[in-house]
Structures are given as C-alpha cells and as structure tokens.
Amino acid sequence: MAKVTSGVLASFEHIDAACDTIKALRARGHRKLTVYYSHPNHEIEEACGHQSSPVRLFTLIGGLTGTTAAFSMQIWMNRDWPLLVGGKSIVAIPAFVVIGFELTVLIGSLATLLGVFLLSVGMRNKGVIYDERYTDDRIGVFVPAGAADAAGIEKLLRDAGAVEVKHAAA
Amino acid sequence: MAVAVQNAPGQPAQTHADVTRDVVATLAPATKGYYLLLAGAVGLFLIGASTLLLIVKEGLGLAGYNPPVFWSVFITTFVFWVGIGHAGTLISAILFLFRSPWRTAVYRATEAMTVFAVMTAALFPIIHIGRQWLFYWLLPYPNQRYLWPNFKSPLLWDVFAIGTYFTVSTSFLIFGLTPDVAAVRDKATGWRKTVYSMLSMNWQGTDNQWRHYSRAYLYLAALAAPLVLSVHSVVSWDFASALIPGWHGTIFAPYFVAGAIYSGVGMVFTLLIPLRKYLKLEHMITDYHFDNMAKLTLFTGTILFYAYGMEYFVAWYSGNTFEQTTFFRRAFGPGWWAGWSMIIPNAVLSQLLWFRKVRTNLTSLFVLSIFINIGMWFERYVIINSLTSDYIPYAWDQMTPTWADWGILAGSFGWFGMWFLLFAKNFPVVAIQEIKEFIPMPRQRAGGHH
C-alpha cells in the first residue's frame, strides 16, 4: 500500500474561485500544492506561478546531439569506405544536410518525450488523493497539511467556494 | 452565478462535462455496420498479405516488373500514402503553431490518419526489396564487409526521412492522446478501465504534468512542422535527382508538398464525413471545419494547377526534345488516360471549391474527395510513367501492372482502413482537452479573464 500524504483536497466548479484560492494559499506559505485540471489553462498556470519547464533543455540537447551524430556518422562512414559517387567529394556536406536535419528532429523529439516522462508523467503524484472528475469538469486543489491545520484549511477552502472537501490522513 | 458558456469556434454552447460525455460516447460498443466495415478492411488486407506471400515465394516477377519500369504500382502507391500523411501533420503541428482555432476538432483524426498512412507507405519499400528479411541492409550498421550505405543517394535520405516521420508523428499522436485517455479512463468501467489506466501513463492532470506537457507539446509541434515540408521534398528528390525527362525539375519539391497536402485533406474528407455521422459528432465537427479544410484544398489544388502548367511550360520553353516528347506523350501518348485522370480531378475539379455552396455541402465534398484520391494516385502513376519513354525510343515500352500489383494496392487500403477503424472505436477521435480549452469554465463573478 502506497503511503498517503495527509492533507485536504478541495474540488471547485468555478475557475475564478479556484485561482483565487491557489493564490491565497500560496500567499499563506503553502508552496507544495497539487492542482488538478482537465485541459491546458493559462489562468491556473499563472495562479500556480511556476517557472518555465526545464523540458526545453532536453529538446535543445537532444536536437544538437542529433545534428552532431548525423554529420559525424556520415563524415566518418564516407571516409571509412571512400567511394566516389556522382562526382561529389568524399565528404560532401550539402548531401549530408538532409540526414542531419532528420536526426535533429528525431533525437530532439525523443529527448523531449523522455524529458516529460522523467519530469512528470512517469513520476506519479505518489500518495496524493485524486478524484475522477478532475479530467472532466472540476478543478482540484490539494493542500498538504497535518491533522492540526486541516480544519482551518477546510474552512478557507469552503469559504472560497469549494463544492466538495475531502481529508486524507497518513 | 455561473456565467453562460460561449461558443467555441464553429461549435454550439456546451460545457466541459458535455464534451467529455459526447466524446466518451463514441467509444460505446460498435454496431453491426462497423464490424462489417472492419471485416471488409481486414479482408482487403488479407488479399494483400496473401499476394505478398506469393511474391516472396515466387519472386517479384509476379508483379509488373518489366523493363523499362520495374517499381511501377508499388512506388506509385508508396508516394500516394506518404502524401496522405502530410495533411495530418500540417493540421496538427503547423496550424497549432499558427494558433488556428479550427484545427481543434479535427486534428486528432487527421493525426491518426497520418500515422496509419505512413505505416502503410513504409510497407512498400520493404515489399519492393524482394528479400524482406534483409531490410536492415538499408540502415548504417557495422557489418563484416565494412560497407556503409550511400549517404549521397536520395533513396537513403528517404529511409531516414520516413523513419523520422513515422517515429515523430506516432509520438506526437500518443503524447496528445495521453490526457484524453486519462479522461476516458475516469469514465470507463471494468477491464476497459484497467487498459486505459495503463495507457494513460499515470496522467492525472496535475499542475506539474500540464506545465511540462504544454511546453513539450509546443516543441514537438515545432519539430514536426518542418517535417511536413521536408519529407515529401525528400520523396520528390528520389525522382528529381535522376536525369529522366519529366522528373528532373527544380519545381518538384514544392509541387510534391502541395500535392501531398491536397491529397491528405482529400482523404480527411473521405474519412471524416462518414465518421462524424456514425460517431454522432456533428455538433463538434461542423461546416465551419469543413469549410476551412476545403479552403486548404482549394489553395493546394491551385498550386497544383500552377505546377502542372509550369511543367508543360518548362518542357516547351526548354527546347529540349526529350522533355517535350515526354509531356506530349503524357497528354496524347499511349498513357493519355492516366494523364487526364491526374489533371482533371486535381487542377480542374479543385477549382469548384471557390464556391461556398460546394465547400459547405458535405455530399459534394465527399464526392470531390473521392476524385481527389483517384487524381492524386494517378499523378504519381503519371510521374512513374515518364520511365516508359526516356532517351532511346528503342527501349520504350508500356507499364504492365499485373494482378499482384492490384492485390498489394487493395491490401494497402485494407491495412490502412483496419487501423483507422480500430483507432476510431477505441480512442477519442476528437481531442477532449483541446476542445475544452476553447470553452470558458464557469465563473462566480461575471466577466472573463484578460
């Protein structure tokens, strides 16, 4: 049985209520919130105040690896078995551009996917409770908290317009 | 009080819950009609598979492999299917980068079409090489004879281009599907829930997941976008870099890319018009979407019109007898019927789309799309046909496709149709999460964001 993170989970129907709550909680020092929502939404993203995703580094490094790998592979293989074709020089850079481009895209994309997997999808939100309506039409806000704080947080969430509040105890 | 939801582009007012419900409803148990169609597709595929087995047993000579044209119907069909794929990536990646709102409702189905079309196309080089079990000779790998493939040949570029295109478009499709599969998981019951849970890869839609997802989606789109232009350019260079009259033209890359998108949108019409009716998605995929796709068809069809004209002009203006003869024979030689089967549907019939009535009438679009499919298949047939009459009239001969060519062609449609039908009934063909992006969530206070 996975360890459960203790805390309070609130469901919202209204986006403005959810965003205000997230901002209020963050202002009160709750930094480890988990917010669930069903579609990319920049209003919620703004409220959460995240910095840009580091996935772009994976894309950049993957892409550059692809370019380098493609050109070095083609240059080395052509020099390893020098064969004159179509009057081109043995190392004919313009002819290598196509594969250089293709491998940039290929390895760049695969590295991006690996980045997302390592950063988020593969690392499931272990032990944090979830509700199936969050992929439908509700917004969920989970506030990690001990038993002592739970009642106060529940009140804040209900006052802010949460339609449902659940507690999770470790 | 909650503020009433507005119209998403081309769609009536609906809530987030409506969207999830309507799309999940498309995955309900299939009807008899669906199974009949699926059986038809599997049947066609089996015809192709048995033909291939016979070819493996008896040799490639079963197909029309006669001088001067060896790889006739197979390469025609190969280019046809690669082309079909391009519209999907154009709609899913390029229109995403342009923030074009009409892509939302249709991009998932077209992206799936791309993946299956490229899967179909990739079979043809394998069929053509004759000894299918040695296909890995195409890849650069260390071998006993210290040989490497010829990196200066467009055919090898094609191996990399198609390989990359297939991998990237499949990843893009699966990546975009993940949040939707999670939405289906949360509505499903029983064993289907278990399957969708595994496929959803722990997706819960947390802020952290969306944060990485949205960025990565943008980068994947940016990486996939140039593939739309590059893959068919590379395919065109398979021809353009050979000194065959009718092939050796600098116009080939843009001409092929426009043709690819034209044929791809044509196939989207052929697939989506019946599909949206069957899956009851008329309120999501509307006239608005078809009108926009028809404009894309008109645009690319007009480029084709220009390219066909320009090919004839260049042949005449070059003063080159061989070019002139090739183009004269296209229109009036023994293969005239194929030449006109390409020009009339692609250049002429596409011009009907100037009329709004044609663009918004689904029956006329569907009929037109069949002509587009036929016309674009013949375009490639006509291009291959250039081989029948090159420099030495002594070596001229006709293409002679046999039953084996047609068997494999039928099999390719079956293979494609089978995958598309299976996809359409088991995965959301409309992107739930992206449709929701266009429907504002209810608010407690009046007034919107920004």
The token duo for A55 is 């996935």
Contacts of A162 in chain B (CB under 8 A): none
In the predicted model, is pLDDT for residue B1 greater than 50? no
On whether the CB atoms of residues A166 and B240 are closer than 8 A, the answer is: no
pLDDT reported for residue B239 = 93
- Least confident interval from B48-57, B190-199, B388-397: B388-397
Please name the residues in contact with B284: beta carbons below 8 A apart, sequence gap of 6 or more. B11, B19, B22, B23, B105, B276, B430, B435
Segment A67-111, tens digit of pLDDT:
999 999 999 999 998 888 888 999 999 999 999 999 999 999 999
List the end-to-end C-alpha distance of chain A, in Å, as a whole number.
Answer: 12
On whether the CB atoms of residues A22 and A161 are closer than 8 A, the answer is: no
Is residue B442 in a domain? no
Is residue B381 in a domain? yes
Q: How far is B230 from chain A (nearest CA, A)?
A: 9
pLDDT reported for residue B10 = 59
Is residue B10 in a domain? no
Is residue B3 in a domain? no
For residue A158, give Cα distances in angstroms to A14, A151, B413: 13, 11, 57
Q: What is the span of the domain harbouring residue B413?
A: 16-437
Residue ranges per domain, chain A?
7-49+128-168, 55-121
The token duo for B355 is 């009329």
Chain A CA closest to residue B446: A16
On whether the CB atoms of residues B365 and B290 are closer than 8 A, the answer is: yes
Cβ A55–B212 below 8 Å, yes or no? yes
Q: How far is B114 from chain A (nearest CA, A)?
A: 17
**Cβ–Cβ contacts within 10 Å for residue B59, how many?**
11
Contacts of A161 in chain B (CB under 8 A): 444
The token duo for B374 is 């036929």
On whether the CB atoms of residues A39 and B202 are closer than 8 A, the answer is: no
User: Which of 3.30.70.120, 2.40.50.140, 3.20.20.20, 1.10.357.10 is the CATH number of A7-49+128-168?
Assistant: 3.30.70.120
Give the span between the Cα atoms of A142 and A9, in whole angstroms.
4
Segment B139-162, tens digit of pLDDT:
888 888 788 999 999 999 999 999
The token duo for B114 is 């791309």
- Please state the rounded mean pLDDT for residues B349-364: 95
Tell me the three state secondary structure of residue A88: coil
Looking at the partner chain, which of A16, A35, A56 has a beta carbon nearest the beta carbon of B219? A56
**CATH code of residue B337:** 1.20.1630.10
Chain A CA closest to residue B197: A132
Continuous H helices in chain A = 15-27, 42-48, 55-80, 93-116, 147-160
Contacts of A86 in chain B (CB under 8 A): 152
DSSP strand E in B102-215: where? none
Number of domains in chain B: 1
Residue with tokens 């939100």: A125
Question: In a mutagenesis test of the B interface, which of A105, A119, A130, A131 is the best target, namely the one with the most B β-carbons within 10 Å?
Answer: A105
Q: How far is B416 from chain A (nearest CA, A)?
A: 24
Q: If you write DSSP's letter for every residue of B276-305 in order, what string do you get?
A: HHHTT-TTTS-HHHHHHHHHHHHHHHHHHH
Question: In a mutagenesis test of the B interface, which of A43, A73, A97, A120 is the best target, namely the one with the most B β-carbons within 10 Å?
Answer: A120
Interface predicted TM-score (ipTM) of this complex, two decimals = 0.93
Give the span between the Cα atoms of B109 and B380, in whole angstroms.
25
Segment A2-45, tens digit of pLDDT:
678 889 999 999 999 999 999 999 998 888 899 999 999 989 99
- Please state the rounded mean pLDDT for residues A140-160: 89
Residue with tokens 């391009």: B86
Is residue B24 in a domain? yes
Tell me the three state secondary structure of residue A164: strand
Looking at the partner chain, which of A39, A120, A130 has a beta carbon nearest the beta carbon of B436? A39
Q: How far is A120 from chain B (nearest CA, A)?
A: 5
Question: In a mutagenesis test of the A interface, which of B160, B206, B248 is the best target, namely the one with the most A β-carbons within 10 Å?
Answer: B206
For residue A53, give Cα distances in angstroms to A14, A126, A131, B164, B355: 26, 20, 25, 25, 46
Cβ B202–A122 below 8 Å, yes or no? yes
Give the span between the Cα atoms of B71 and B69, in whole angstroms.
6
pLDDT confidence bin for B8, thresholds 50/70/90: low
pLDDT confidence bin for B370, thresholds 50/70/90: very high
In the predicted model, is pLDDT for residue B7 greater than 60? no
Give the span between the Cα atoms of B256 and B79, in whole angstroms.
9
Cβ A38–B209 below 8 Å, yes or no? no
Give the span between the Cα atoms of A56 and B215, in whole angstroms.
7
Is residue B2 in a domain? no
Is residue B1 in a domain? no
On whether the CB atoms of residues A12 and A139 are closer than 8 A, the answer is: yes
Is residue B445 in a domain? no
